[in-house]
């Protein structure tokens, strides 16, 4: 449809120029000049409107000037570091099914600041850059160690891990080189997000806690 109106605009524009020159010379066919000008102008406007409302495909998502649906990430696939939501409270069997066998496992005693001690297990992936902490048979914390990735600010850091800030998000600390959020997003099962880096905002580590009761 767009190309039809652009073709019509082109043809009517040529007719307008020709008839205008003839009218200018002999002052005849004035109505044809006006008609061709109107058709050309209307065709151009319609073509612009159609272009503005046609869906645009970008990063495998179809957008049409409105916000993407809730299951579409605001962060592009190229920018997303890892979708951390998928790990929330997974069992060992579920994580193994998702990522395969870990590179290593470690059983240890976790003495929490809440005064309790827990039997914990850590699974290591990605050459030591990803750690999963299990307590009571479920993933309660995911830790990511950066390899040069950068973030712009707190909200951007969240989006790099597929997380959107919830209505009850609370800023615990923001020092310029470390940002710590709690009550990040209840429905996403993200209790805490803690990122550390350098002054240039290069990621050092990110701790994403799914069940803060253990900490």
> What is the residue extent of each domain of the chain?
2-54, 84-214
Can you tell me the distance from the alpha carbon of 111 to that of 204, in angstroms, rounded to the nearest whole number?
24
Q: What is the mean predicted confidence (pLDDT) over 173-185?
A: 96
Name which residue leads in pLDDT, 173 or 1: 173
Q: How confident is the model at residue 66 (pLDDT cuts 50, 70, 90)?
A: very low
Can you tell me the distance from the alpha carbon of 175 to that of 22, in angstroms, rounded to the nearest whole number?
74
Q: Which token pair is 148?
A: 């040069």
Q: Which of 7-11, 13-17, 79-83, 105-109 has the lowest mean pLDDT?
A: 7-11
Query: Beta strand pairing status for 190-197 and 178-185?
Result: antiparallel
Q: How confident is the model at residue 122 (pLDDT cuts 50, 70, 90)?
A: very high
Q: With 50 as the cut, is the pLDDT of residue 73 above it?
A: no
Can you tell me the distance from the alpha carbon of 165 to that of 155, in angstroms, rounded to the nearest whole number?
7
Can you tell me the distance from the alpha carbon of 93 to that of 76, in angstroms, rounded to the nearest whole number?
30
Q: How confident is the model at residue 69 (pLDDT cuts 50, 70, 90)?
A: very low
Average pLDDT, the chain: 82
- The answer to whether 137 and 119 have CB atoms below 8 angstroms apart is no
pLDDT recorded at residue 47: 64
Q: Give residue-wise pLDDT tens across range 30-46.
A: 666 566 566 666 766 66
Can you tell me the distance from the alpha carbon of 160 to that of 149, in angstroms, rounded to the nearest whole number?
10
Can you tell me the distance from the alpha carbon of 137 to that of 118, in angstroms, rounded to the nearest whole number?
11
Can you tell me the distance from the alpha carbon of 64 to that of 210, in angstroms, rounded to the nearest whole number?
34
pLDDT recorded at residue 27: 64
């Amino acid at each position: 449809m767009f190309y039809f109106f652009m073709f019509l605009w082109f043809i009517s524009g040529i007719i307008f120029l020709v008839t205008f020159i003839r009218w200018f010379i002999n002052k005849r066919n004035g109505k044809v000049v006006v008609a061709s000008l109107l058709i050309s102008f209307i065709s151009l406007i319609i073509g612009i409107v159609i272009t503005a409302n046609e869906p645009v495909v970008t990063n495998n998502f179809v957008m049409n000037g409105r916000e993407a649906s809730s299951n579409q990430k605001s962060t592009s696939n190229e920018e997303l570091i890892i979708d951390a939501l998928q790990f929330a409270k997974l069992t060992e069997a579920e994580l193994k099914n998702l990522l395969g066998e870990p590179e290593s496992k470690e059983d240890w005693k976790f003495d929490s600041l809440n005064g309790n001690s827990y039997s914990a297990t850590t699974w290591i992936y990605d050459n030591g850059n990803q750690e999963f902490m299990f307590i009571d048979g479920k993933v309660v914390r995911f830790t990511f160690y950066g390899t040069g990735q950068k973030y712009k600010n707190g909200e951007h850091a969240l989006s790099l891990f597929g997380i959107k800030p919830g209505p009850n998000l609370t800023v615990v600390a923001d020092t310029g080189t470390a940002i710590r959020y709690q009550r990040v997003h209840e429905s996403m099962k993200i209790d805490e997000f803690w990122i550390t880096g350098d002054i240039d905002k290069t990621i050092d580590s990110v701790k994403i806690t799914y069940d803060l009761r253990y900490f």
